[in-house]
Structure 1
């Protein structure tokens, strides 16, 4: 089912010192944000939401938690793939409960290199500097819930907490992989909410798994306390760290699986030597195939081009050819 986003709402952050900060609609429907705020971590905060229909939801006041720095993002090459971990500690022993989100970016390549393009009239050389469709970057935001706690330890240390796993044949690690990890320190109550949400959404799969539990957050309809409201508001700072993992650092035996089935490139001649038809016009100008390399005769004259489908020759159908500003 598709969730219905709430647009046109009035969203406000309120402190227990009677300060309020308005959030505004941003480009993504249902998303609200503010300019950077200099909030005090010594105060408590809550969120007030008034929908376009006049219904008001109010969260409980929550204490602001200061996240310690991310000590490191580490990884290990296993027999099956790449396991990533997060590591942190709080020397004051005050954090104890953590949640992580991550954003993955990876460099990948098309199966075949296209040196030419169809311009509507002829097959012409591609400007490889501005019309690159061979090398691209993909992006993915974490969808799983990643939690960690040191509550049962003497020291507030998180070491080798599993973050995500990438199979050894994944295109993500075919050229270079990067992950940006964001770390949040949680209250015990927030941690328990996320832990229960994780159990309800990720760990159900067999008759032996626990049944879904009632999920109670800290947001309430001020006019109807009986209305179930799923969600938990937290306040605090965010720390983050990015790492890169180049293909050269991974086992040579790993073989990357291209996401599409690609046959050998076809040879398409300008004029079909058998039928006399202009095959290049029918194939390349209609974008049925993309031209790759020139085919020449014994005299060096171009008599056609090899061609492949866009899935095999154009990386932009599943990524961007704009190099990210942070890329190394």
Structure 2
């Protein structure tokens, strides 16, 4: 019976593939509006640096798009002896400490007093030291570029790892307009559009690994990120900043469950989502939930740069502006679309005026024109 289970599973999937296309109808369930909003705590206690904690509230997706922040809270860190380290709010909903070095012989927690009078605290946790990354490498592969990392801890005190990464890349628009539309006429452009911008994105994926089943506390060639060879992020210059966190077993379990709840759903055989809270509790009302896990550890970072000239010969140059070239031409005077701002003039030619959409001209729509300090 057990040996036939994979076959039965494949048959079920095959039958579903045949039946589902014929019986799928749009379905919009009536989801009751959430009557309560719960605190969400995002961040960790930095053992060697500035601690940053972001406070927000849960909300019904159907009611708004912007995450509501928790403002005017009084937040501080404290150790088991009662010594407190205050955090100040700036910007709204974000609370930061001074640069601190936590004592590894003590345990610490986060304390929060919200503006509406509720008191919250995380569990006391030990301080862990995050080892540096041994290597952050990239390699060309069949379908694109892969980024791998390696790390280790000779003392075997880490064992549970989490990684985050932030990507930055250059954006070069295809057009540099010489004219503009102003006061019902075409004139030489007064304020040029930027010729270079920088895109930036922090990865939402949860990257975890543990070495508890290994004889050594070593992570080798962990596959962190893959980019297709036609990715516009590789057009000129690309950078990735990787942050490494050393976790406790409980903190790892929290992130692992969060990963399963957010990334491993969608098929009949995926695990069902479970309620996930963490180690933050409301001291003034046990029925009041809070979400998040506040650990205490140092942070290890490493950044690499990749330029297109380093990639294998024959890899295409893809700038992400394929649909913009060639530009259109407004032949019959000034196009109404120019007057309405849907098209921007680029240059005056014999056939009229070359035009393009603002997205094809202004790279600030895809990134920032401010050069990053590390670039």
Question: Which residue of structure 2 lines up, in the alignment, with residue 154 of structure 1?
Answer: 215
Verify: 1:264 aligned to 2:318, yes or no. Answer: no
- The alpha-carbon deviation at position 174 of structure 1 amounts to 1.5
Question: Pick from 159, 173, 194: which aligns with 1:110?
Answer: 173
After TM superposition, list the pairs within 5 Å mapping 1:70-109 onto structure 2: 70-109=133-172
Verify: 1:166 aligned to 2:227, yes or no. Answer: yes
Verify: 1:325 aligned to 2:373, yes or no. Answer: yes
CA distance in 1, matches of 2:176, 2:233: 19
> Does structure 1 conserve the Cα–Cα contact (< 8 Å) formed by 2:328 and 2:354?
yes
Alignment deviations for residues 129-152 of structure 1 (CA, whole Å, 9 cap, x no partner): xx3433211010121111121221
> Does structure 2 conserve the Cα–Cα contact (< 8 Å) formed by 1:74 and 1:86?
yes
Verify: 1:210 aligned to 2:271, yes or no. Answer: yes
Q: Could you list the runs of 5+ residues in structure 1 that have no partner in the other structure? A: 273-278, 297-302
The structure-2 alpha-carbon separation of the partners of 1:283 and 1:199, relative to structure 1 and needing over 3 Å to count, comes to: closer
Question: Which residue of structure 1 lines up, in the alignment, with residue 298 of structure 2?
Answer: 237
Question: Pick from 225, 247, 269: which aligns with 1:186?
Answer: 247
CA distance in 1, matches of 2:109, 2:365: 42
Alignment deviations for residues 166-209 of structure 1 (CA, whole Å, 9 cap, x no partner): 22222211111101111111111111111111011111110110
- The alpha-carbon deviation at position 158 of structure 1 amounts to 1.2
- The alpha-carbon deviation at position 253 of structure 1 amounts to 3.3
Question: Which residue of structure 1 lines up, in the alignment, with residue 131 of structure 2?
Answer: 68
Question: Pick from 9, 21, 30: which aligns with 2:85?
Answer: 21
Verify: 1:292 aligned to 2:354, yes or no. Answer: no
Q: Output the TM-score relative to the length of structure 1.
A: 0.86
Question: Which residue of structure 1 lines up, in the alignment, with residue 97 of structure 2?
Answer: 34
> Does structure 2 conserve the Cα–Cα contact (< 8 Å) formed by 1:260 and 1:311?
no
- The alpha-carbon deviation at position 78 of structure 1 amounts to 2.3
Question: Which residue of structure 2 lines up, in the alignment, with residue 315 of structure 1?
Answer: 363
Other structure's SS at 1:123 match: strand
Question: Which residue of structure 2 lines up, in the alignment, with residue 43 of structure 1?
Answer: 106
- The alpha-carbon deviation at position 286 of structure 1 amounts to 5.1
Question: Pick from 267, 284, 296: which aligns with 1:223?
Answer: 284
CA distance in 1, matches of 2:178, 2:276: 56
Verify: 1:196 aligned to 2:250, yes or no. Answer: no
- The alpha-carbon deviation at position 58 of structure 1 amounts to 1.1
Other structure's SS at 1:189 match: helix
Other structure's SS at 1:34 match: strand
CA distance in 2, matches of 1:238, 1:182: 7
CA distance in 2, matches of 1:311, 1:305: 18
The count of residues paired between Structure 1 and Structure 2 equals 309
Write 1 or 2 for the structure with the bigger share of helix. 2
Other structure's SS at 1:224 match: coil
- The alpha-carbon deviation at position 114 of structure 1 amounts to 2.4
Other structure's SS at 2:254 match: helix
RMSD of aligned C-alpha atoms? 2.3
- The alpha-carbon deviation at position 112 of structure 1 amounts to 3.0
Q: Output the TM-score relative to the length of structure 2.
A: 0.75
CA distance in 2, matches of 1:115, 1:156: 59
Alignment deviations for residues 208-247 of structure 1 (CA, whole Å, 9 cap, x no partner): 1011133241111123334443211111111101111111
- The alpha-carbon deviation at position 77 of structure 1 amounts to 2.1
